[in-house]
Amino acid sequence: MEVLNTFPGTDQTLVSFVVRTRPDQQIIDMEKFSDELTFAHCAENMTLRFRSEATFQAVIQSWNWVNSNDARSFVIVGEPDNCNSGDIRDPWLVSQASFDTNTLTAYLDATLKTWGEVADSYTLEFGNMVSPSRKRYLEASLEGAFHVDLGSKWPSSLIDKGNDIFKFTADCVTCGTQGTLSFGGHIEGNSRDGITKVAVSATPRGVRADVNLDIILSGAYHFLGTEEFATNSWELIRIPLPAGWVIPRLITVGPTAGVNVGYSLESIEGEAKLSTGMSAIIPEGSSAEINLYSTPRFSHSGWIPEFEFKPVRVEAEVTAKAKIWIEIVTSASLLVFGW
């Protein structure tokens, strides 16, 4: 069985989930016959009432298979509207079935399971690693879920250091990030070995960080490098993943992007206000991939920022040696079937 989701109105697939069951087990998608139902109750005593005699007879012929052998079972994939499950398509394991021909009703002994429990083996692909030729919908709420907006504005005050001898401040005039990260993944596993293959990729689209600074330097001081304030670095901002990145009971992907800033001081002589700026741009076409079950586990192409600098404007005389730097760091966490 394969369940898919695409962007509405396009051919771009977001999620492809292929489930392969054991020889003594079948899988049935309620969505395929939901129009033939007049009533559905999705619970341990599942009740499905059908619209036509012809459809009901076909159901008896197909589903009665489960009653002839205790080892047999089949999985019904709940259709969200009929099962009142929101966006969730739950797998129900059916071990027995009975039929009322007078009311065209099927009564099923069903147990709610997770996908990890019912799949003998499976392949899960999501985001930009999926074939673009699919046209079936699973959850419209996933639209855009694998494209993370990195847009942000930073605090106006970055650095405020000093004492009676020197002063060093750096304020952001216009600082922030923009662009998006497109994530994709390929996961394989089976009931015997668990997850056997995990590959997650990240591709930037227009990712950049802009820093425009007003810097004040004053005093007369030569740093030895041992002062606790002479050099420092910290995470300026961390941009979390939007909430839409959860496919309930199937997969949770949690990428984040962090912007780090740092400085180092060597000497200050004089007093001045400096204005300058720079942009760090991740080249288009860059890519990074984590593959947990291969060597090497991490590979990347590009991701080295291209810098654009603005000229330094100085309002007074000063002699100083100081550095300020920024860097963009991305990371991701992955949870499949709750493992």
- Name the pLDDT band for 53 (thresholds 50, 70, 90): very high
- Name the pLDDT band for 2 (thresholds 50, 70, 90): very low
The candidate with the shortest Cα–Cα distance to 246, out of 124, 334, 121, is: 334
DSSP code of residue 30: G
Centre a 10 Å sphere on the Cβ of residue 165 and count the other Cβ atoms it contains. 10
The predicted pLDDT at position 8 comes to: 38
The predicted pLDDT at position 59 comes to: 94
Beta strand 246-247 with 166-172 is: unpaired
Residue % of the chain over a pLDDT of 70: 78
* Mean pLDDT, rounded, for 51-70: 91
* Mean pLDDT, rounded, for 231-257: 63
Q: Which residues contact 62 (CB under 8 A, 6 or more apart)?
A: none
Q: Which residue has the higher pLDDT, 43 or 141?
A: 43
What tens digit of pLDDT does each residue of 113-123 get? 888 788 888 88
Q: In a 3-state reduction of DSSP, which class is residue 162? A: strand
* Mean pLDDT, rounded, for 250-269: 72
* Mean pLDDT, rounded, for 326-338: 63
Contact 179, 282 (CB under 8 A): yes
* Mean pLDDT, rounded, for 304-324: 76
Residue 52 in this model has a pLDDT that exceeds 90: yes
For residue 227, CA distances in Å to 170, 191, 266, 267 come to 19, 57, 11, 12
- Name the pLDDT band for 140 (thresholds 50, 70, 90): very low
What tens digit of pLDDT does each residue of 225-240 get? 667 667 778 787 776 5
What tens digit of pLDDT does each residue of 289-312 get? 777 777 777 777 887 778 888 887
Q: Which two tokens stand for residue 233?
A: 């670095």
Beta strand 334-336 with 251-253 is: antiparallel
* Mean pLDDT, rounded, for 61-77: 88
The predicted pLDDT at position 331 comes to: 65
Residue 71 in this model has a pLDDT that exceeds 70: yes
Please tell me the pTM assigned to this model.
0.59
Q: Which residue has the higher pLDDT, 43 or 124?
A: 43
Residue 133 in this model has a pLDDT that exceeds 60: no
Q: Which residue has the higher pLDDT, 225 or 165?
A: 165
